[in-house]
Structure 1
Amino acid sequence: MSGYRFVLVGVGIAFLVNAGLGYLISRANVNDVREALVWMVGSLGTPGWADVGVLAGVLVVLAPAVALVAPRLRVLQLGDDTAGGLGVRVEVTRVAVLALAVARTAAGIGPGQPAHRGGALRRVARGADQPRAAAGVRPGELTT
């Protein structure tokens, strides 16, 4: 799959999930929607100093890994064939860079996402007057 197609498929899936969430939110109780929106978007008011300590620890571990991958990433700018000819394992480097980017992003936004508020999203999913069909939905299933 080409890069453009991959991006377009991702955008299409994001729009479908967003449309589903919009429908569920439009059918729910206002108080439940407020709680669900905080759950989905996150809040900078909820993380404590323990979360900051975890983030600092993760960044201390990941910073040297980023420093080790950075020179190979610069060589990749020359193109796949040239980088391979210079001894850089192209696919391994790409996977490593992607994994580091995901880890650093997750460490940065994780503390702002209150995962314990899944009950509000379940109430939004079933609606105020709907039966409890979606009561088994776990946090993250409707937002991913």
Structure 2
Amino acid sequence: MMRPATVDDVAAIEAIAQAAYSPYISRIGRKPAPMLEDYRQRIEAGGVYVLDHARQVQGFIILLDTDTGLLLDNLAVAPAAQGLGLGRVLMDFAERQAADSGYTHIYLYTNEAMTENIALYARRGYAQTHRAVENGLRRVYMSKVLQAI
């Protein structure tokens, strides 16, 4: 079940972010940005959703409205729940939110060292638009044109 996150979800979101992104520290050479996020502030600003599965928060997603489309800013699934299709549920939710909000496309970025994420997004129809170095992180930007959902 997807629902908007509340401040009561901060600890669960932080734990998921730490567990999901820590394997990338050695590849990137530092903690990925999602491990440094102030999730309480993000929740208070809106656009954070959690996925409850088996009576626990097992994943979360952060969506931001921008001038150019809906930004899928962050997505993570608890490592113990990976392989259950929850990432697909989160991605489907993001794309529905974008379409329901009238956007013609959705975009995201990921670190270039997260090659499996880049491949996963490409399989879902996202195409690379550009690369950039931001805050010392090498990011790959991708976008997907939305069909009527």
Give the structure-2-normalised TM-score.
Answer: 0.21
Larger RCO (CA under 8 A, 6+ residues apart): 1
Q: Which has the higher helix share?
A: 1
Give the structure-1-normalised TM-score.
Answer: 0.22
Larger Rg: 1
Q: Which has the higher strand share?
A: 2
